Structure 1
Amino acid sequence: MPETPEPPAAPALRGAALGTADISFFVVSAAAPLTVMAGVAPVAILLGGIGAPAGYLLAGLTLAVFAVGFTTMSRHVTSGGAFYAYIARGLGKRVGIGAALLALVGYNGMEIGVYGLLGTTTADTVHALAGADVPWLPVSLAGLLLVWYGGFRSIDFGAKLLGVLLVAETGILVLLAAGVLLKGGAHGLSLGSFAPGAVLVPGTAAVLAFAFAAFTGFESTVIYRREARDPDRTVPRATYIAVAFLGLFYAFVVWTVIQAYGAEEVVGAATQDPGGLFFTAITTYVGPWAADLMHLFIVTSVIASLLAFHNAINRYVLSLAEEGVLPAALGRVHPRHRSPYLAGAAQTLLGAVVVLGFALAGADPYQQLLLWVNTPGMIGLMALMLLAALAVPVYFRRTVHSEGRWRTVVAPVTAAVLLAVALCLVISRVGLFTMASTTVNTVLVALVPAVFLAGTALAGRLRTRRPDVYARFAEDPVQDTAQDPAEDPEGAQPCPQPTPS
């Protein structure tokens, strides 16, 4: 009898599609540099004075230390789950499943809230350029469709699009900086922003809280491991490039804006018109046409951020569907574009429900949709970074490896301490991010541990009712030697070194 042909393999993500630059475009775009600078940096200057640029450098340095252990872990844990996989392999599956749910909520919060920002920035841009008023809701819904299409297409299409948008938004900031430097600023150029007397002021703590928030999304490099070329090299390089670029670029741009107004005048200008600080500077030093471009590029900056987060969310959902935690249908990959298209459709539908819900409630798209939805997402992602930093030394203590102590102990423990401080700074000053009442702030912060605890409860349910799913959660395709501390309460011992033949 003729042999029965084997059924064709199910479509998978497009392997070896992304290089270092491509992944860097995704993660830097998620941070939305132009939006962060023009929209948030004036508040940092208002709170921290001329020492604000140093806050971005300190935040970047902290996250660079975190990246040491984080990227080292990426060479040993190749599961597509990134944050939750690392946490599960270091701190146990129950904690890992709690982290998985927190990652889903956190990344969705960081993306969906930004649709409110898209509506307001587009309305502001149209009003500034044409004098017309447009409602925010149709703009946000159109953005949902545009971002869905970008995620539906292949990952290399998204990388090329984000590359173009990122060059546009960073280019306009470079143009502003060049204009200030060529004209020597308001009173000549000064490095006083980095003097200890300017940095060691009470407002620096608030600046640090804003600065850490400005890096959100950089850690998503590891999510693209399955689509990266030579991931053991590409993913760490992209991570360090993203952190270094954001930290240095943010500090440089904020410093140049301070030079544009002068050290004595910049705080007053930020107080009087924070939203116009960058636009006035670029009009003065480059020209009104450049201010018009900045208005346009802020809109494209927001779109780029939305697309970057959308792609990251889709890959988290894909991984959790493959793990069996989410419905299997969400793990389907488009046969032509090789994208997690059903995960993308589900994420777009969720975004539409939230956006329409806020609109029907008469909520403000900026102060409520953006700030109230973004804030718990940001806090959740910072908490995940802290858990991941703690997981690294625990994992390597129980696993045979050839990595040095700096990568496996010193850097991750140092990062954990610094991230704990940063998380406390953000929570203690959460009102600066939300502009809401104490009651609202309490609810928004409490959502983070509530989601994590719900995830650990789900883990208990899976362990009892679906032990096969629980057993293979966050495991690599090839089983490694690390044990789950949840299965071994006495603590797993390091595996013996192989005997040379």
Structure 2
Amino acid sequence: MSVPPQPPPTPQPAAPGLRTGTLTTADISFFVVSAAAPLTVMAGVAPIAIMLGGIGAPAGYLLAGITLTVFAVGFTTMSRHVGHGGGFYAYITRGLGRPAGMGAALLAMLGYNGMEIGVYGLLGSASQDTALALFGVEIPWLPVSLAGLVLIWYLGYRSIDFGAKVLGVLLVAETGILLLLAGGVLLDGGASGLTFDSFTPPNVAVPGMAAVLACAFAAFTGFESTAIYRREARDPRRTIPRATFIAVAFLGLFYAFIVWTVIQAYGSDKVVQAATDDAGGLFFAAITTYVGAWAADLMHVLIVSSVIASLLAFHNAINRYTLSLTEEGLLPPVLGRIHPRHRSPYLAGAAQTAVGAVVVAGFALAGADPYTQLLLWVNTPGMIGLMALQLLAAAAVLCYFRRIRHREGVWRTVVAPVAAVLLLGAAIALVTANVELFSGAGTATNILLVSLVPAVFVLGLALALRLRRTRPEVYARFAAEPDGETPAAREPAAL
């Protein structure tokens, strides 16, 4: 009895993945610079830097930019050898080993979640200020923050190129209003003529410069996230390094230029007193004087849009970290589902939004202030966590190139990484020594906030050791290179 031939099995459609080859250098730069929220940083933090460090504050932003450029030299060199899309933890795994890599992965989740969720408090606070300034009405902050959560979820749910377009528009608007202010000051010649006293050694080498540098390094937060978009970038071996250097160079030069022009607006002899008297109104008063009251009103509105841009940039970064950790087997597989049409990690975005809603609602129920507590307390460990990731990545670059054969130069693989380790270590020391500037809290609270960073890293080390013993297959494939990478990118991860 013959058996009729069976039809071949119907091939199952492949699961949807991220939209590859979509993001250009400009798109990734928009994500990175938007995360830093230039308008919010300038109008909200730069006056404090001037108040503490005097007219030498612009030089502090340049020094921070130079430090991070040195870091980017080694980081972008290593990006040519690492094909993994998991961001910093993949680099740290290559150079310092899987335990350090898992510690870095958890640290990244703390850092990016802390930077985003805290900013929902700023969204509520900034919206309150804008409504009061423009319409003379007081609005509750919680509904605004919750509405922001829904908006950011939707924008993250849509395709990555849609998000890039939104960020491009918002970033042009917020940088445009600052350039409008600068143009008004330069055309008018400032309060008493244009001078470059801000960059002379006596005004830079002042005791308050340590606090200025702490503020300046915080203003670059998020610039390192270029590597997260590797899988969605066009020609990532070129796009990622270019976007990294563009972002850090733009931020360093732009921040220094804008702070210098505001000093010229008031005059070197009067700006410190003006910042002391009304730090929050320093930029608004300047743009009212040199451009017009309408520009100050527009600046109020654009600060809100600047906050929204920052939230979206961090939200997208968190979603891609979550996706990577799901693929590593460290998070539930359901979080790794990709939307079939938008090609976005939509369930990771929904989970992150839910976490944000819980934290925001918890602070509100406790009667916390949206700015001095929700923003500052949640942002502080996030900021220090991301700086710690940069330090670990710089050390990983140095160790990685000592372990493999390569044709990269000594400047890129030894000198720059060593300098980056020293400079970033000093930057973290400055930030932690001046942590009260960022948290606005007392000693006990500050100790707790700073301690979260090493505690989370140690938790990651413990998780790695446990996985090595109980789930060796998960441990072995952690941060493994995808198929199709070059031999240089296939160097084995450290043990």
In the other structure, the counterpart of 1:499 is none
Distance in 1 (CA, whole Å) between partners of 2:333 and 2:408 is 36
Q: 1:179 aligns with which of 174, 180, 184?
A: 184
Moved more, 31-40 or 75-84: 75-84
In the other structure, the counterpart of 2:214 is 209
C-alpha deviations, 1:432-491, integer Å up to 9, x for none? 1111110000000001001111111111111111111100001101485534443xxxxx
C-alpha deviations, 1:133-178, integer Å up to 9, x for none? 1000000000000000010000000000000000000000000000
Q: 1:16 aligns with which of 1, 14, 21?
A: 21
Residue pair 1:398, 1:482 contacting (<8 A) in 2 also: no
Distance in 2 (CA, whole Å) between partners of 1:322 and 1:355 is 29
Distance in 1 (CA, whole Å) between partners of 2:494 and 2:295 is 57
In the other structure, the counterpart of 2:129 is 124
Residue 387 of structure 1 and its aligned partner are, at CA, apart by 0.3
Secondary structure of the residue aligned to 1:274 is coil
Residue pair 2:93, 2:494 contacting (<8 A) in 1 also: no
Distance in 2 (CA, whole Å) between partners of 1:162 and 1:282 is 24
C-alpha deviations, 1:359-411, integer Å up to 9, x for none? 01111111110000000000000001000000001111111222111111111
Residue pair 1:395, 1:482 contacting (<8 A) in 2 also: no
In the other structure, the counterpart of 1:48 is 53
Please, which runs of 5 or more residues in structure 2 have no aligned partner?
Answer: 1-5
Distance in 2 (CA, whole Å) between partners of 1:349 and 1:151 is 13
TM superposition score normalised by structure 2: 0.97
Distance in 2 (CA, whole Å) between partners of 1:433 and 1:51 is 20
1:340-379 mapped onto 2 (5 Å cutoff): 340-379=345-384
Residue 270, structure 1, aligned to residue 279, structure 2 = no
- 1:212 partner amino acid: F
TM superposition score normalised by structure 1: 0.96
C-alpha deviations, 1:59-115, integer Å up to 9, x for none? 000000000111111111111111101001110000100110010011000000000
Residue 336, structure 1, aligned to residue 341, structure 2 = yes
Q: 1:37 aligns with which of 34, 38, 42?
A: 42
Q: 2:433 aligns with which of 414, 428, 434?
A: 428
C-alpha deviations, 1:14-40, integer Å up to 9, x for none? 001100100000000000000000000
Q: 1:282 aligns with which of 282, 287, 306?
A: 287
Residue 253 of structure 1 and its aligned partner are, at CA, apart by 0.2
Residue 55 of structure 1 and its aligned partner are, at CA, apart by 0.2
In the other structure, the counterpart of 1:461 is 466
Residue pair 1:399, 1:481 contacting (<8 A) in 2 also: no
In the other structure, the counterpart of 1:406 is 411
In the other structure, the counterpart of 1:311 is 316
In the other structure, the counterpart of 1:482 is 491
In the other structure, the counterpart of 1:69 is 74
Residue 472, structure 1, aligned to residue 477, structure 2 = yes
In the other structure, the counterpart of 1:394 is 399
Moved more, 477-486 or 332-341: 477-486
Secondary structure of the residue aligned to 1:275 is coil
Residue 295, structure 1, aligned to residue 266, structure 2 = no
Residue pair 2:480, 2:493 contacting (<8 A) in 1 also: no
Distance in 1 (CA, whole Å) between partners of 2:494 and 2:95 is 8
Secondary structure of the residue aligned to 2:464 is helix
Secondary structure of the residue aligned to 1:128 is helix
Residue 354 of structure 1 and its aligned partner are, at CA, apart by 0.3
Residue pair 1:94, 1:460 contacting (<8 A) in 2 also: yes
Distance in 2 (CA, whole Å) between partners of 1:402 and 1:11 is 37
Distance in 2 (CA, whole Å) between partners of 1:232 and 1:402 is 16
Distance in 2 (CA, whole Å) between partners of 1:296 and 1:485 is 49
- 1:193 partner amino acid: S
Q: 2:252 aligns with which of 222, 244, 247?
A: 247
Distance in 1 (CA, whole Å) between partners of 2:23 and 2:291 is 36
In the other structure, the counterpart of 1:494 is none
Distance in 2 (CA, whole Å) between partners of 1:330 and 1:74 is 26
Residue 430 of structure 1 and its aligned partner are, at CA, apart by 0.4
In the other structure, the counterpart of 1:489 is none
Runs of 4+ aligned structure 1 residues displaced above 4 Å come to: none
Residue pair 1:97, 1:456 contacting (<8 A) in 2 also: yes
Distance in 1 (CA, whole Å) between partners of 2:463 and 2:352 is 21
Residue pair 1:44, 1:52 contacting (<8 A) in 2 also: yes
Q: 2:162 aligns with which of 145, 157, 164?
A: 157
Distance in 2 (CA, whole Å) between partners of 1:397 and 1:435 is 42
Distance in 1 (CA, whole Å) between partners of 2:67 and 2:186 is 29
Q: 2:449 aligns with which of 433, 441, 444?
A: 444
Moved more, 64-73 or 258-267: 64-73
- 2:164 partner amino acid: A
In the other structure, the counterpart of 2:3 is none
Query: How many residues are treated as equivalent by the alignment?
Result: 486
Distance in 2 (CA, whole Å) between partners of 1:298 and 1:415 is 32
Distance in 2 (CA, whole Å) between partners of 1:403 and 1:150 is 40
Identity %: 74
